[in-house]
Every structure is written in C-alpha cells, then in structure tokens.
A and B are shown apart, each in its own frame.
Chain A
Amino acid sequence: MKINNLFVWLKQKPRIAFFMCLPLILMVACLIIYPFFYSIFLATLNKAETKFVGLANFLFLFKRETFWLVVQQSIFFALVAVFFKALIGFIAAHSINELPSKGQRKWRGMLLIPWVIPPALSTLGWWWLFEPTYSALNWLLEKLSVDAIPWLSETFWARFSIILVNIWVGAPFFLIMYLAALKSIPEDLYEAASIDGANYWQKLFFITLPMMKNIISITILFSIIVTFANFDIVRVLTRGGPIDTTHLFATYAFRVGIESGDIPLGAAVSLFMFPVLAVLSFIILRNVRKRTNEV
C-alpha cells in the first residue's frame, strides 16, 4: 500500500520532470555553481591563501597596467569579433535561405564545419598558417611577390589573427540560429509587403529584422559571454604575446593563477567581468521577455 502511494507520488508530472532534470541539475551544481562560488571564495584570499582579504585582490588589479591592457583587449576582441560573427552569420543565413531547399542542406553542412571541429584543433591548423617563421600564408604571399606579414609577432597582426580565427569558428553559430529564425517568419508577411510594393530593403528592415530581434539579442548576448571567456584560440596562437597584447581575461587568469601560482589573483581576474556581463544579460533578457509579452 505504501509502495503504491510512493509510485502515485512519483508519477505526478512536476515530480517526474524534476527527477528527469536531476542529473542535469546535479551536473550544473557540481561543475558550474560550486566552482563559481569557490572561485569567489578564492578571490577573497591572500596570495598564500591563508587570510581573508575581502576585495583587496580586485583593488590591487585596478593598479596594474597590464591588467587594464587585458581589460581593453578583451572588450575590443569581444566587440569586434561578435560584430563580424553576427554580420557574416546574418549574410550567410540570408544567402542560404534564398537558395532552393534542395541545395540548402549541403551549404548548411559545409558552413557548420568550423563550429563543429574542436577549436583547439582547428586553431592548431591556423597556427601552421600563421607560424612565425615558416608561415604557409607567407609562403603563398612570397610566391605572389608580396612581403611576408608578421601574423603573430606584431601587435596589430596578432590581434587581427586571433579575431579572424574567432570569427571563423563562431560565425556558423550565428548562421544556424539566424537561419532557424528566418525559417520561422511567416511567408505571408512578405507576400503582403510585396503586394504593398515593398522593395528588398524595406522587407529586410521592416519585416525580417523586427521578427528576428529576439534571436539576434540572445545570440549576441550568448556570443559576447563566450567570446569574453575565450581561451583556446589565444593560448594556441599567441599565448598572450607579443608583449601581452593579445591576452584576454581567461589567458591572463591562467598566466597569473596557474602558471605563476597566484590562484586568488587569477580567480579575481576571471571574475572581473562577471558583474558587467550579469547586468548586460539582465538588460537583454528583460527586453526579450518584454517583446515576447507584447507579441
């Protein structure tokens, strides 16, 4: 009788849903929530991890020239890379959407390849192309009688290289999200606009973009967070060089925390952008919710 009651209790929809989600909840709790709070705890300790120092590590970072360089670079890297990823993703999605449905599948598959390959592996391929002394790209340029480009040894080109690779890896994500959004726009909206005499650009600005607003906001938010946290591309291509001019938060945190053994300061570096990104997420998601409610 008691066992029957237990089954009945378990069979209730919300409980089943909870138990089915439990493995994921546990994973998130162990691999995300716990490390997050642990890193906050670490960031409040002194270098030897023996004393609570409150916000001293963050205040200390404010006085470091290299740290501010990292802040500037991370913001520049994230904004430029996300802008181009979104732009290229949008253009590619639009182009594929215009194709007859039979030809769409192979283009979708091909354009997703950069996103599917593990970034550390594909970046290694890029590294061979950019190699400081024996760059394959420079070999080609040489054949065309063009001067070699210092892809990784000069600040401008090193920044260009890491942004280029990030765009190459990340643009397919935008492509697939935007393509899904384009497919969900009712065709009769375009037909009605055509009857009213709307041209291509008017349809784009008054139908396509407004209908895609939510998906654009969410993909940009997601991409900004992921791009700010990028590690592998910089680690493989430049290791933060030359002269620390390509370090991002993650690579600098690794340098300070793991390589130099100052775990509390490394934790402080990695948490630095959290409040900014949290506020940004809050604003974007609030707007998305508002628009959804309006619809």
Chain B
Amino acid sequence: MKKVNINRRKFVKGISAVSGYAIAAPYVKTSHSAGKLLLGIWSHWIPGADDNLRIILEKWGEKNGVEVKVDFITSIGNKLLLTAQAESRAQTGHDIFSLPTWYSTMFKHRLDPIDDVVEDIINKHGPLLDSARFYAHLDGHWRGSPAPTGSFFDSFVSRYDLFKEHAGIDLKEIFPAHNNRSEELINNWTYDTFLTAAEKLYNAGKPFGATIGATPDSRWLSALFTAYGAELVNKDGEISVDSDEIREVLEYLKRLTQFMPKSVYAWDDSSNNRWIISGEGSVISNPASAWAVAKRDNPEVSKKLWHHDAPRGPKGRFRPDNSQFWGIWSFAQNKSAAKDLLRYVAEKSVVDSCVEASKGYDIPLIVSHFKNNKTWVEASPPDGVLYNYPMRGDEVPVAPGYPAPPEIASQITTQYIIANLVARITAKDQSIKKGIRWAENELEGIMRG
C-alpha cells in the first residue's frame, strides 16, 4: 500500500478547500437546524394534560426546525425541586425549566433575565396578574415567563347543599354562574359569616377542613392573614409580626379551629381532597382538582360542589396564589429558541388548549386569557360549578408571605412560619405573646444574609 505523506503545506491547502466549500454551499434548513431544546416541565396532576402540552411543544418544534425534548418531572416527593437544585449547582441540564411559585426567587442567580420576552407578551396580550410580578420580577428583571400550565388559585370548594341546609346560606345565589352578582350578598360574605357557618356545619357533623401543617396547602392561612392586614414582615423587609392585626387574626383562628377536625395539624396536600370527596367535609380551600376527582370517584358529591370566592376580612378579600413560570437557565444551550418558545406558549390558543386539557385546573397568569375562556363556564355537573373558580369579583390573588420582599416571603412560605405559628396557638395552647416571640426569632433567622 502506497504511503501518503501529508506535510504542512498540503494540510493547509486541504483545510482551505474544505472551508471554501462550506462557506459557498447553500444553507439547507433541516429539522435540527435551530438545534435542540430541552425542557424540564412540571408534570400535571390531571391525566392527559401533559400529553396535550407535549404535542403543542413538538408541533412548534417541527414548524421551527427545533428538536424539542420535554421531560415531565413530578413535584411529588419534591422531585422537581431536587432536579432544579441539582441542575442549578451542576450548571447543566435543561434549557427551559418550570418555576412554580418561589423557584424564580430561589434560583434567580442561575436564571437569565427575560425582560424582552415578558415585555413582548404584555404588549401583545395585556397585563399579567400583579402577583405574577411579585413572584418573577426580581431586582428589576423578569426571571420567569407565564407558564401555560400549572398556575392555580385556591378557591373555596363548598357543598352548597350543606351550606343551605345547615347554615342557611345559598352559595349559588351569592356566587352565581354569571357576572350579575348582588353587591349586598357579596358584602355579607365575610370571615365572621364564615365562622358562624363553620360552627353550624361542625355541629351538623360536616366541618370545614384545611391543613394547618407544614405543607403547601396551608397557604389558605396566608390569604386569611392578608385579609386581616396581618403581616409577618412588611414590604420594607422589617419584622412586623408583633401587631394588633396578627393578634386579631390569631384570635379569629382560635375560634375557627374549634370547628375544624383535630387531624388538620397532620394533613398533607391530598387530605383536604379526600375530606370533601368522601362526603365528610362541607368546605375546603383548593383548586378544581378535588371536584374533578370527585366527578370520577364520588359523582354524587361532585354534583353538590360549588367553587366560590373567599370571605372578606377587614382589609379585603384574598385568594391564595400558586403561580407557575417557565425560566431559562443561564447555562442553557439554546437561548434564542427558548425565548421564542416562551413567547409562543403565551398565545391564547395554546393557553386555551392547556386550560381545556387540565379540565379547568390551570388559571392563566395573563388576565385577558382567563377572562375569556369557556372551560369554566361550561363545566358541569352541576352547571356553573367552575364559573367562579377563576377570580370574577373583588378577590385579589396573594402570594404567601406577601408583602415581604420575595426573598423573605419565599422563606416564610417554605419554612411554614405561618402554619407553625397558628398551630402553636391553636393546637399547643401557647399564648399569642409567646407564639409571636417564636415567630420573631424564626423571622430573624430567615433574614440572615
């Protein structure tokens, strides 16, 4: 075999020829020409919702020549959080990642600012909910863009038949499945009215049930605290737990918890669902999933459920907010395609499809999108059951820990300071003074630099 000698001159000549061809050759767009895009997305509770989203994303990928790969990651057992922590530390992994509630704050140093994307979305579709800004607009930059799935708000989910029978309250009249609400009836729906109803329902053997444990579903307490103007840390980041408002809301909860099952201190996120679906409870604070499961597992109960607004407190009417965003890791490999995809999933057609696939569970963060969606209007039985699941009246969505700055509010939430404070006073019979002192000590702790 003839030996081929390659000297420096021949090598340079060859390389020049190959480079010349490469530059001169026409650009042919292939399905991979815009590269790969890896997504780590929260896995939905509602069967079929993930498949719908996968199809949407893959179709977008085909159209734009991007190879889209979606990993749906469950939040059960904190798997989503653990994956986010691992990717953030290793600085490798997906390009786009789901950011439920406080993830934008927790990982802001590893997330690319996406002001251009969110501004484009706002310019095209109108404003986002204020709470979305609170979660994802950090240090003057957007770190998360509205996710097409996973955002929800805990409405009250009540047995309208039991309310009428035992408490004399017609929830369907107060919160009808249309926009003509009676102002007088709405104004009378206060936490005092609710306390009276809770007592009657308790005496009838069908109590109100909501967790007061270290679990995310305890966010109903945050909405209640906000309704009383009770702040643990104010918007300037100062500890403000030693206040009359805090004392007032704790006194209220001392009364309310007398009419709740004692097991609520050990409830997890599924306990309230089981409580209402089993027919033992009369009211919980939850998204639409309890009704969807009841429809499958206990249709008789599902026919008597009604979603509606929270009661009003001295400072207003608030609903627990559980917004979800998508962000782009700073170490993402395909940022331009990722930004295009974020813009695309904010389109109304995409959002509507996701709301429908989630059977109305998801509530978009773009105001115009949830104001005009038929899923909640048409859901049944009973007719109109989900009409008031998205906010229709004067309710304001509120992030747990609000109005503390997000870095502090996130710690208040994830360390369950509010639930623990309430449990100390209502279950442990600790004095309010002692409970407040404990909360101050904890808050000092979470505010360390």
- Assembled-state Cα–Cα distance A158/B411 (Å): 25
Nearest CB on A from B240, distance (A): 19
- Assembled-state Cα–Cα distance A154/B265 (Å): 8
> Cβ of A46 and Cβ of B449 under 8 Å apart?
yes
B267 at the interface (CB under 8 A from A): yes
Enumerate B235-280 residues with CB–CB distance to A below 8 Å: 261-268, 271, 274-275, 278, 280
Q: Which residue in chain A gives the minimum CB-CB distance to B77? A: A235
Residues of B within 8 A of A239 (CB): 213-215, 268
Enumerate B214-239 residues with CB–CB distance to A below 8 Å: 214-215
> Cβ of B265 and Cβ of A261 under 8 Å apart?
no
- Assembled-state Cα–Cα distance A65/B264 (Å): 24
B289 at the interface (CB under 8 A from A): no
Residues of A within 8 A of B280 (CB): 133
> Cβ of B442 and Cβ of A261 under 8 Å apart?
no
- Assembled-state Cα–Cα distance A2/B258 (Å): 86
Enumerate B74-95 residues with CB–CB distance to A below 8 Å: 78, 81-82, 85
The count of residues in chain B whose C-beta lies closer than 8 Å to any C-beta of chain A is 39
Residues of A within 8 A of B449 (CB): 46-48
> Cβ of A65 and Cβ of B441 under 8 Å apart?
yes
Nearest CB on B from A247, distance (A): 9
> Cβ of A241 and Cβ of B266 under 8 Å apart?
yes
- Identify which of B424, B428, B448 gathers the most chain A CB atoms within 10 Å of its CB: B448
B264 in complex: contacting residue of A64, A153, A240, A255, CB < 8 Å: A153
- Assembled-state Cα–Cα distance A191/B37 (Å): 77
> Cβ of B415 and Cβ of A243 under 8 Å apart?
no
Residues of A within 8 A of B267 (CB): 132-133
Residues of B within 8 A of A241 (CB): 213-214, 265-266, 423
- Assembled-state Cα–Cα distance A63/B81 (Å): 28
A238 at the interface (CB under 8 A from B): yes
- Assembled-state Cα–Cα distance A94/B265 (Å): 42
Enumerate B88-117 residues with CB–CB distance to A below 8 Å: 106-107, 109
Residues of A within 8 A of B262 (CB): 150, 153-154
Nearest CB on A from B439, distance (A): 10
Residues of B within 8 A of A244 (CB): 214, 420
B414 at the interface (CB under 8 A from A): yes
B34 at the interface (CB under 8 A from A): no
Nearest CB on B from A65, distance (A): 5
Nearest CB on A from B386, distance (A): 26
Main secondary structure of the interface of A (DSSP, over half): loop
- Identify which of B266, B271, B415 gathers the most chain A CB atoms within 10 Å of its CB: B266
- B396-440 CB contact bits vs A (8 Å, 1 = yes)? 000000000000001100110000100110011000000000100
Nearest CB on A from B111, distance (A): 13
Residues of A within 8 A of B214 (CB): 239-241, 244, 255
A184 at the interface (CB under 8 A from B): no
Residues of B within 8 A of A150 (CB): 262-263, 266
> Cβ of A243 and Cβ of B266 under 8 Å apart?
no
Residues of B within 8 A of A48 (CB): 109, 449
- Assembled-state Cα–Cα distance A68/B266 (Å): 22
> Cβ of B213 and Cβ of A258 under 8 Å apart?
no
Residues of A within 8 A of B140 (CB): none
> Cβ of B442 and Cβ of A66 under 8 Å apart?
yes
B26 at the interface (CB under 8 A from A): no
Residues of B within 8 A of A261 (CB): 85, 106-107, 410, 414
* Given known A-B contacts A238-B266, A256-B415, A133 and B448 have beta carbons under 8 A apart: no
Q: Which residue in chain B gives the minimum CB-CB distance to A247? A: B214
A60 at the interface (CB under 8 A from B): yes
* Given known A-B contacts A65-B438, A244-B214, A259 and B414 have beta carbons under 8 A apart: yes
A260 at the interface (CB under 8 A from B): yes
* Given known A-B contacts A133-B274, A259-B78, A261-B410, A60 and B266 have beta carbons under 8 A apart: no
> Cβ of A243 and Cβ of B420 under 8 Å apart?
yes
- A40-72 CB contact bits vs B (8 Å, 1 = yes)? 000000111000000000001001111000000
- Assembled-state Cα–Cα distance A243/B106 (Å): 24
Residues of A within 8 A of B265 (CB): 153-154, 241-243
B263 in complex: contacting residue of A153, A240, A256, A258, CB < 8 Å: A153
A243 in complex: contacting residue of B271, B274, B427, CB < 8 Å: B427
> Cβ of B438 and Cβ of A260 under 8 Å apart?
no
Enumerate A215-254 residues with CB–CB distance to B below 8 Å: 238-244
Q: Given A133-B274, A153-B264, list of 12 further CB < 8 A pairs?
A: A63-B445, A132-B263, A132-B271, A133-B261, A133-B275, A152-B266, A242-B266, A242-B423, A243-B420, A260-B411, A261-B85, A261-B410
Kindly list the 8 A-B residue pairs having the minimum CB-CB distance in the complex, ordered from nearest: A153-B266, A132-B263, A152-B266, A132-B266, A261-B106, A242-B265, A260-B414, A153-B265
Q: List 14 A-B contacts (CB under 8 A).
A: A46-B449, A60-B445, A65-B442, A133-B271, A133-B274, A152-B263, A153-B262, A153-B266, A153-B427, A239-B268, A241-B214, A242-B427, A255-B415, A259-B414
Residues of B within 8 A of A (CB): 78, 81-82, 85, 106-107, 109, 213-215, 261-268, 271, 274-275, 278, 280, 410-411, 414-415, 420, 423-424, 427-428, 438, 441-442, 445-446, 448-449
